Chains A and B, each alone.
Chain A
Amino acid sequence: MDGPQTQFLGDRARVKDVITLEDKISQDYYDEVIEKVFKPSWFLLGNANDVPDAGSYFVYDVPTFKASVLVCRSADGTIRAFHNVCRHRGKKVVSTQCGWAEGKAARHTCWFHGWTYGTDGALLAVPDERAFMNFDKATMGLVPIRMEVWEGLIFAYFGDGEPQPLTEWLGELSEGFSNYYNGMEKIATVAADVDANWNFAMDGFSEGYHTVFLHRNTQPELAGKDNPMRHPPVVDLYPRHIRQSGVANPDYRGPPAERALYALGRKLSPAVETDYSTLPPGVNRTRHSPWFFDVVWWFPNVAILNGVHWVSVLTIWPIDKDRSRVVTDHYAKKARGAGDRLAQAYMRGLVVSVTREDLGALEEVQEGVQSGAIPSMHVSRQEMVIQKRYALLDELRGQE
């Protein structure tokens, strides 16, 4: 018994269920994909609630573009993004640890020589300014990065030239998410650099097939008897992005501590919330039941898990052809009190163990592929999201 079959809607042109491997780990393929796919894409960097107040900022190092991005909110509420690079000698203005920093500051001083910038990027102070010749402070603000906020989410663009407008780039998924992400607060960031090609890392976050096996110890109750392989009811294959609704185990009970904590606070992952009344139309759009969460893949490198009371964002940043940064940011509806906060604590503790299972598998795939033992991988209908990504990459590379 393999359970109900999935309804695939949309564009399945050029998808293949056999995907060659040797080319995927070649330098040429990697360079071509960065140039033709990553550079002209928008990238999700965070939630506007990550910078809640005037002066709130975060710094996100994006290894794919060797960029360090300073995102800050000004006193007037505007969120802006800049290269976190001092205009004087090029040091990072805000130092990062393992690719991240955050805090609150009305101004940012580069402590190499004391150059100071405002939250709008303007260069405010240059010590010993008169020692500089032919120098106009007004033209020496931090270098801006193209950034847009959509439904409370912050996107940045790193390519040259004018990007496709963000809502156009999001396409069909640009609608149906009102008042959803802006009710969420970040509860955890779990990240690691892994020795694995970015495509293989994305593959690992592109199907539910693995969850029954790889996560057997951390998510033992995921699959219901009615649908043991967790076939999703609907997969929407849009020209670029994908939305999939994921099934829940209708008999899910959860273990004792989880049950106790999710009864005192909101029901977070992996518990099953059956009240969909707060969901926007874009999440579980068919109102399938029993439902657990949707996954939206924002091509090329993001999978965002949309639950009733929680959201997890999985981002893969290529570092080089054999190495990637996996960043998982976890959100939950803003806590109303201690019950919600402790429910968040349960979810984020479990998430570390689940993510460690995923990360371990990615490196073993890389080793296996690099051995050259198998020429290709066979992927099932349930791994259609993988098929679709490779097909789209081929199309954008100009290969058929």
Chain B
Amino acid sequence: MTGTQTLPEGFGDLQPLVAKWALKGQKARYSQMLAVDMAELRALYDAVLPRVEAIVAHLDRFPLDEYPPAEQALFDLAATFAETAHPVDFKWKAPQFDDIFPFERVRLSSASEKW
């Protein structure tokens, strides 16, 4: 759980997003994407997108997949942004379309749940 984790110094502006969006694994991230409306999804997008370059630069000071807790929370936040960005990227009116195969019937496993 990274929900209450403090982000590394210099990323305090993203701290309010941690509780809801610093999630581990693809299922949790995609589920959260479906649970919110576009305004909230766009708020995450608008906050993280301008910071991804700085996030990557900071995380690359540590070995990949072996981040300390603060960096892990920062990674989880950035990865949640990346995995939920496409509805905003494509200017959808909702995080999914009505006629699409139900997410509850989709199994995400293996690498999907590792990081």
Contact = CB atoms under 8 A, between A and B. Distances in A.
Interface string A309-341: 000000000000000000001100001111101
**Nearest 5 pairs of A and B residues by beta carbon:** A349-B83, A255-B89, A338-B59, A345-B82, A257-B85
Contacts of A255: 86, 89-90
In the complex, which of the residues B99, B103, B112 has the most CB atoms of chain A within 10 Å of its own CB atom? Answer: B112
Interface string B29-64: 110010000000000010001001101100110001
B90 A220 contact: yes
A359 B101 contact: yes
A381 B79 CA distance: 41
A197 B50 CA distance: 46
A359 B26 CA distance: 19
B56 A264 contact: yes
B106 A217 contact: no
Given A218-B90, A345-B83, A360 B101 contact: yes
A350 B86 contact: yes
A352 B26 contact: yes
B60 A338 contact: yes
15 contacts: A50-B110, A102-B110, A186-B111, A187-B112, A189-B109, A190-B107, A257-B85, A258-B85, A338-B60, A341-B115, A346-B83, A349-B33, A349-B86, A356-B96, A358-B101
Nearest to B84: A349
B92 interface: yes
A125 interface: no
Given A257-B82, A339-B60, A353-B96, A100 B110 contact: yes
Given A58-B110, A337-B60, A353-B100, 7 more contacts: A189-B109, A190-B112, A218-B90, A257-B85, A265-B56, A337-B56, A346-B83
A192 B107 contact: yes
Interface of A: 50, 58, 97-100, 102, 185-194, 217-218, 220, 255-258, 260-261, 264-265, 329-330, 335-339, 341-343, 345-346, 348-350, 352-353, 355-360, 363
B63 to A, nearest CB: 9
Interface in B72-87: 75, 78-79, 81-87
Contacts of B70: none
B56 A339 contact: yes
A187 B103 CA distance: 19
Interface of B: 26, 29-30, 33, 45, 49, 52-53, 55-56, 59-60, 64-65, 75, 78-79, 81-90, 92, 96-97, 99-101, 103, 105-112, 115
Given A190-B106, A258-B85, A264-B52, A357 B101 contact: yes
Contacts of B101: 192, 194, 355-360, 363
A385 to B, nearest CB: 23
A261 B82 contact: yes
B89 A257 contact: yes
Given A218-B86, A349-B83, A260 B52 contact: yes
A280 to B, nearest CB: 23
Nearest to B48: A257
Contact of B26 (A260, A342, A349): A349
B60 A217 contact: no
B49 A348 contact: no
Contacts of A258: 85-86, 89
B72 to A, nearest CB: 11
Contact of B106 (A191, A338, A363): A191
A262 to B, nearest CB: 10
B106 A348 contact: no
B34 to A, nearest CB: 10
A217 B90 contact: yes
B56 A342 contact: yes
A338 B85 contact: no
B89 A256 contact: yes
Contacts of A261: 52, 82, 85
A98 B52 contact: no
Contacts of A329: 110
Given A218-B90, A257-B45, A258-B85, A338 B56 contact: yes
